[in-house]
Structure 1
């Protein structure tokens, strides 16, 4: 149980002991209040208390929704099932959401049956949702056979970066340092305010990254740093009454400090859309920015786009990577391996194990092959995102909310994992050391008669 879950448990205990549980209406009100702050686990627990007083399908459905949004899929499945047992006709989404929760839990056979029940019993539901349910049924049936195919890979939690909260992206800068993003209090004295921010890890020590980049009152959930260009690209998200708005910024490292961040132009930060997860790649002597966006005109929700950069640093109009990469659902977190011409990204579509799986598509700009699932154990039935590799191709990183402790019910929080791709070669010997050794060897070769 992580710290946020402990806090939620204490809150529920407090409400119960102080008599709050006696007021059904107050429990409903408090649950909505926590849900409005995206604290869905506490909202689910409060609604569960309300359900004990009034076990109606409406309350069960709302409880399941809160748990689903809080990524406690075990409890979500349980309460969707209560809805269906009470009322099989008036809650079609209970079938769809229960099947989705079951896929997250790796219950592929049961999930396939409930996706089928959804589109068979409710054919007049949203046609797009019917299409997704039909494909998810197919995906569950196909992926089941792949659960027996587990690659021999060494995957370990990146414990020096991980915390009781959530960690997302990691990018190795040198052999002993990396940057990563995390959703946690930015200071020990600010435990009530949670923000995503960039952190540095060097020689096992974690510190908050430059405050020029980590704005106040904004989430900084992802980034990309190009050491050759001394350029940092990152996303800043702010909450408003109309929802969360995310934009991509850039900052140059000049004079031993980062410059004031500049928002990228409207080709990238398209009006009315969220734009996030930048990745810069040098392909055929040109620079290209890959990123995810939910702008209109795409194939689904979030799609992956690219934009070329000219010599003046201006970005061209963004282009969708096309239907071989994008889908009716979400594609996010692009990473391009220039050497092997492989685009890695996460998708909720295609044949997958559940949630987001990591895929790779071979190709270059304008020509992408069908994606290949990275398989087990890289992927899981939960959300696996932000795949990246170091330059030496010896290690890869990704983020996942897979279960670490089998006793935990909630998959609320992400951790960073490291994959050992191949043995690490020793670091190159510095030039001055080589010269010193050569002088020593030459000295030993000089004939004794010269002394």
Structure 2
């Protein structure tokens, strides 16, 4: 449903955004005598035909000043201000319009949205509430759902105003952002960034490198072909960096023209040159629809999976997100028929810029259909196709009252990028220009990552279901994500300064659980290895319970991830929160599984206290999980890193620990979960 009677401007804007337009031209000069009314209207219409919608809006607004009773020309100005995202002028123009249910029946919704995106939440709330109370059109059920969603977003924004944030946001200057539009950041390497810019009048792909904390002058990537017909949009590199999937749009942005976007692919040779772009087949590029914002990831079986946005028939509304899977490993262009991601993700409005983190099983995307701060906001949903959880708004400063989309997280780091038209004074005072912003997660990207083992063999245990539940301030539980992992390694994104319960299940094995409290600053890696014991009895019937297994076993408790004093007990409350699967209580049957295998850890020091966020441990975090255990009879803690079943791996890790600032570290052996002592390998 369009907010204006002329085409679906919101969907059109998203399509244009995929390839950079429309460009807000400079306001027309007002030096000298004012033009007559007719000339102002003609000039505005000429600017419309050229795609210069901001300039057209200014002409129409000046024409209205000469004829204040000409409501139609004022409405045309409002249309164009909305199209170029000049929210302040759009709201002011809409506010001057006289109510007319026949000519602009959705005026209250339009005004409320413009005020909301200008950050005037209380004014927006009043206008939207009044509109919801008085609107009685035949499409009221749909319109009411949209308005309630906008009101829910205002409530969310006001509730979370002033929350402590652990994310710093900045707007890079020279090297990336210009007075044109920049968007679609793709982290190629730790210091290299691909992005799209309309500098020079056409949307093109550029690259820049971060050197000495400054971005180098943007250049076209060497060997990348010139897009002769159409304009370049956003892109996504395959995990091996060899194949680039990207959008090319027709570039026709005038009032009477139709802009269409399709997804292409290019392949990089060993010499660094790129092949000519090839469009994906009509399964992806369905004729008559827009197909954009590709995101390519590696599926568990090693094949490619493609997420993208499309306004094809059969969706929920506007742009929806879809998933297609590779059907021929030898042909990177061959994909299955796309499947809609469903109602947990897609709404009546628009969802764009998908980004799937395969390691944590999290889908990041932008939407203006879920409750948000204004316009497009960025959301996260854990899960896989057919089983995505309810999306979570990432809040400020990731989101703002303006449009925020195109989140790109740097692998393994505490940084990321997003696209936004937000005001960022003094360098960027307005909202008509789109720029790339950098994100720095001061607490790192808090992440749960560990491995599940078979207690009998010591080998990794694939196919384990792990559920993550957040523990609220009162001890209440809410399910955040549930996922089955193809290997023994499980991982989830966490929030800094939060508490979680981790439930681990696998058919034929006793369950396990533990709790995690994340730090509000510093280290970002949490989790502990878990050994599951085989069930001594046949698999229980559905609804029955199985035994709890040890996580580390006697003598290996008190790790930073273990339950701490003051945390809720490891059994669920009498009335668990909705949608929470309570952990299975301990079985009365004795455990018959054999003892845990011999394992090794690296002891790096003995301390009076242990802060896993301390910077001195930063160099060894990549080697393995940090943990602590008390020294009997002393007020000291042994600090250890890693968990190894292979002596050779432990010996190699010890050498790395020595080289990273702990020259006195040594290997400790544990037999059946009990500390044996220091050993030489």
Whether the TM-score (by the shorter chain) exceeds 0.5 is yes
1:410/1:30 CA distance change after superposition, 3 Å = farther
Displacement of 1:155 in angstroms is 1.2
* Counterpart position of 2:330: 312
Displacement of 1:47 in angstroms is 1.1
* Counterpart position of 2:350: 330
2:186 to 171, 190, 208: 171
In proportion to residue count, which structure has more helix? 1
* Counterpart position of 2:16: none
Question: For residues 152-177 of structure 1, what are the alpha-carbon distances to aligned partners after superposition, in whole Å with 9 as ceiling and x for unaligned?
Answer: 21111122311111111111212221
Q: Is residue 114 of structure 1 aligned with residue 114 of structure 2?
A: no
Q: Is the 8 A contact 1:293 1:303 kept in 2?
A: yes
* Counterpart position of 1:98: 111
Greater CA drift, 36-45 or 352-361: 36-45
1:116/1:265 CA distance change after superposition, 3 Å = same
1:37/1:344 CA distance change after superposition, 3 Å = same
1:298 to 306, 315, 321: 315
* Counterpart position of 1:246: 261
Tell me: higher relative CO, structure 1 or 2? Use CA pairs within 8 A at least 6 residues apart.
Answer: 1
Find the aligned partners of 1:242 and 1:44 in 2 and give their Cα distance.
Answer: 18
Alignment partner of 2:365: what SS? strand
1:208/1:105 CA distance change after superposition, 3 Å = same
Q: Is the 8 A contact 1:61 1:83 kept in 2?
A: yes
Q: Is the 8 A contact 1:281 1:338 kept in 2?
A: yes
1:260 to 276, 281, 297: 276
Q: Is residue 76 of structure 1 aligned with residue 76 of structure 2?
A: no
Find the aligned partners of 1:175 and 1:408 in 2 and give their Cα distance.
Answer: 27
2:172 to 149, 155, 158: 158
Find the aligned partners of 1:406 and 1:78 in 2 and give their Cα distance.
Answer: 23
2:386 to 355, 361, 366: 366
* Counterpart position of 2:40: 27
Counting only pairs closer than 5 Å after superposition, residues 423-434 of structure 1 correspond to structure 2 as none
Displacement of 1:41 in angstroms is 1.3
1:117/1:35 CA distance change after superposition, 3 Å = farther
How many residues are matched? Answer: 414
1:150/1:216 CA distance change after superposition, 3 Å = farther
Question: For residues 66-96 of structure 1, what are the alpha-carbon distances to aligned partners after superposition, in whole Å with 9 as ceiling and x for unaligned?
Answer: 2121211111111111113x76885333222
2:246 to 222, 234, 242: 234
1:408/1:157 CA distance change after superposition, 3 Å = closer
Alignment partner of 2:423: what SS? coil
Which consecutive residues of structure 2, in runs of 5 or more, have no partner in the other structure?
A: 1-22, 445-521, 524-617, 623-654, 660-681
Which consecutive residues of structure 1, in runs of 5 or more, have no partner in the other structure?
A: 186-193, 429-433, 439-451
2:206 to 196, 199, 202: 199
Find the aligned partners of 1:94 and 1:208 in 2 and give their Cα distance.
Answer: 44
Q: Is residue 147 of structure 1 aligned with residue 172 of structure 2?
A: no
Alignment partner of 1:35: what SS? helix
TM-score (norm 1): 0.85
* Counterpart position of 1:47: 60
Find the aligned partners of 1:213 and 1:232 in 2 and give their Cα distance.
Answer: 12
Q: Is the 8 A contact 2:156 2:373 kept in 1?
A: no
Q: Is residue 58 of structure 1 aligned with residue 88 of structure 2?
A: no
Find the aligned partners of 2:86 and 2:438 in 1 and give their Cα distance.
Answer: 25
Find the aligned partners of 2:45 and 2:196 in 1 and give their Cα distance.
Answer: 29
Q: RMSD of aligned C-alpha atoms?
A: 2.7
Q: Is the 8 A contact 1:287 1:308 kept in 2?
A: yes
Q: Is the 8 A contact 2:422 2:430 kept in 1?
A: no
1:12 to 25, 29, 32: 29
1:402 to 405, 422, 436: 422
Displacement of 1:118 in angstroms is 2.5
* Counterpart position of 1:269: 285
Displacement of 1:116 in angstroms is 2.6
Displacement of 1:309 in angstroms is 0.5
Q: Is the 8 A contact 2:366 2:377 kept in 1?
A: yes
